[in-house]
Structure 1
Amino acid sequence: MTVALASGGRDHFGWGVDRHMQADIFDAINSNTRATGQWGKGKAPKIPPWPRPKVSKKPETKKTKPARRVSVAEIYSQFTTRR
């Protein structure tokens, strides 16, 4: 679920490499069928691609200066200090 949420939302749950490859193979077979089929005088039918989850693009933020690097010692001190 963490990978799905990082990829763009709950729609991506279950979409691993294997599912993406299967969808690509499905689209490739349909494309090959359209290209090599004998459709007579008519045009080749439009075969819809396999439905995939939409990738949400993160909005670009303008940074005035690059972020400061944080050392391991600073991270450790933040975890060990009591507030």
Structure 2
Amino acid sequence: MTVALASGGRGHFGWGQDRHLLADLFDAINSNTKATGQWGRGKAPKIPPFPRPQAKAKAKKAGKKAATVAQLYQHFQQRR
């Protein structure tokens, strides 16, 4: 439950790598069916993707720039 809450909420409970891979496999099979099917009117039907939980957006820290390696080296070489 902790991992689910950290990933974005209760909707992520039970969604491990195996479940994501199975959802991707489901979508791949549907895409293959759509591409190779012989449709009577020439237009393939709309097949919706497997529903997945939405990941929460990561918040960006405003005003902080990434430090370069040279700046980090200089910071740790200072004597205090």
Alignment TM-score, normalising by the size of structure 1: 0.72
Question: Kindly, what percent of the aligned residue pairs are identical?
Answer: 71
Q: CA RMSD for the aligned pairs?
A: 1.5
Q: How far did 1:65 drift?
A: 6.5
**Off by >3 Å, runs of 4+ in structure 1:** 63-66
Given the two structures, how large is their TM-score scaled by the length of structure 2? 0.75
* CA distance in structure 1 between the partners assigned to 2:22 and 2:65 by the alignment: 43
Give unmatched runs, 5+ long, in structure 2: 67-80
| Equivalences for residues 16-35 of structure 1 within 5 A | 16-35=16-35
- 1:55 matches 2:36: no
Instruction: Report how many aligned residue pairs link the two structures.
Output: 66
In 2, the alpha carbon distance for the partners of 1:30 and 1:54 equals 21
Q: Secondary structure at the match of 1:47?
A: coil
Gapped regions of structure 1 (runs ≥ 5): 67-83
